[in-house]
């Protein structure tokens, strides 16, 4: 092999090494590009995170605001109900979860214990129904009072007597108390 051939071989070897290094540079440049993109994506994510926190805060604040506003409405409803309930307090509780599902608790609080509507006794249920009808804007209130004891019937009549609504009460029990005016008893 001649000297020139040898040197040409050396050039071929060196050129190949150079090409390999150039390929390495390309890989490093590509990695650098990917790193920049990752960095940008991380910045984007962090940016979105802070914006998200703000948006969630806005949403939660609005929810609290709504809860407060709803609470006022619920208080107004309960107040109307309480005006005719013979004892205890009506409970109207409203909640809405993140998915928009709304839940409503309607119950009767007596001596610090709240009984949901479905858990009310027969007599309590009839009183509650009559008063709830009042809340629901009925102008003719019908009370099926067969399950009301005398005391509760009297209290209910007293409360309903003041309403500017027509009230029809049905009971099979003898009435032993003085019927509050303007109620009129009709024997059937």
Partner 1 sequence: MITHIRTKGFKGLDIDEDIPDKVIYNGKNRSGKSTRSEAIAFAILGHVPFSLTGKLPSDILDSFGTDSISSAVTIKGVEFGRKIWRNDAGKVSTSLQIDKKRASADIFSMALGRVGAPKIVDVSQFMAQSDAKKVDTLFDLFPNPELSEIDQEISNAKEDVSRIEKQKDGAESTITRLTNSKNAIEKPAGTIAEIQASILEYDNKIAYVREQIKQDEIKEAERKAIIEGERQERERAEKEAADMRVIAETKINVIEESFLPDDEITLKTDEDWTRHNIDNMPDSPEMAKNDRIISGLEQQISKLDPPCIEFENFDQKKSDYAIVSDSILTIIEALTGAGCEACAALVVAKMELKKFKGIS
**Which listed residue (113, 176, 178, 188) binds partner 1 by CB under 8 A?**
188
Q: Which CB sits closer to partner 1, 25 or 151?
A: 25
Are the C-beta atoms of 84 and 160 separated by less than 8 Å?
A: yes
- Least separation in angstroms between residue 114's CB and partner 1 is 16
Site for partner 1 in 115-174 (CB under 8 A): 117, 128-130, 132-133, 135-142, 144, 157, 160-161, 166-174
Alpha carbon separation from 24 to 15, 17, 18, 28, 29 (Å, rounded) = 14, 10, 10, 6, 8
CA distance 92 to 55: 30
Please name the residues in contact with 105: beta carbons below 8 A apart, sequence gap of 6 or more.
Answer: 91, 92, 93, 94, 116
Please name the residues in contact with 155: beta carbons below 8 A apart, sequence gap of 6 or more.
Answer: 86, 87
How many CB atoms are closer than 10 A to CB 67?
Answer: 14
- Least separation in angstroms between residue 87's CB and partner 1 is 19
Q: Report if residue 179 touches partner 1, rule: CB under 8 A.
A: yes
Site for partner 1 in 46-75 (CB under 8 A): 48-49, 51-52, 55-56, 58-59, 62-63, 65-66, 69-70, 72-73
Site for partner 1 in 19-48 (CB under 8 A): 21-22, 24-25, 27-32, 34-35, 37-38, 41-42, 44-45, 48
- Least separation in angstroms between residue 172's CB and partner 1 is 6
* C-alpha triplet 104, 96, 51: angle, nearest 5°: 170
**Cis omega before residue 126 (within 30°)?**
no
Query: Number of residues in contact with partner 1, rule: CB under 8 A?
Result: 94
Q: Which CB sits closer to partner 1, 88 or 169?
A: 169
Q: Report if residue 177 touches partner 1, rule: CB under 8 A.
A: no
Q: Report if residue 184 touches partner 1, rule: CB under 8 A.
A: yes
């Amino acid at each position: 092999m001649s000297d020139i051939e040898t040197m040409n071989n050396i050039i071929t070897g060196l050129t190949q090494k150079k090409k390999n290094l150039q390929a390495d540079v390309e890989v490093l440049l590509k990695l650098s590009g990917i790193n920049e993109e990752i960095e940008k994506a991380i910045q984007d994510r962090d940016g979105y995170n802070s914006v998200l926190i703000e948006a969630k805060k806005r949403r939660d604040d609005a929810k609290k605001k709504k809860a407060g506003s709803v609470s006022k409405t619920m208080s107004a409803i309960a107040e109307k109900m309480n005006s005719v309930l013979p004892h205890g307090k009506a409970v109207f509780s409203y909640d809405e979860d993140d998915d928009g599902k709304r839940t409503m608790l309607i119950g009767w609080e007596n001596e610090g214990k709240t009984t949901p509507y479905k858990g009310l006794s027969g007599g309590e249920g009839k009183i509650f129904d009559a008063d709830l009808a009042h809340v629901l804007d009925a102008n003719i209130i019908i009370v099926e009072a067969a399950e009301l004891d005398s005391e509760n019937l009297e209290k209910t009549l007293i409360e309903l007597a003041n309403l500017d609504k027509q009230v029809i009460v049905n009971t099979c029990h003898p009435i032993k108390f003085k019927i509050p005016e303007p109620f009129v008893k009709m024997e059937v």
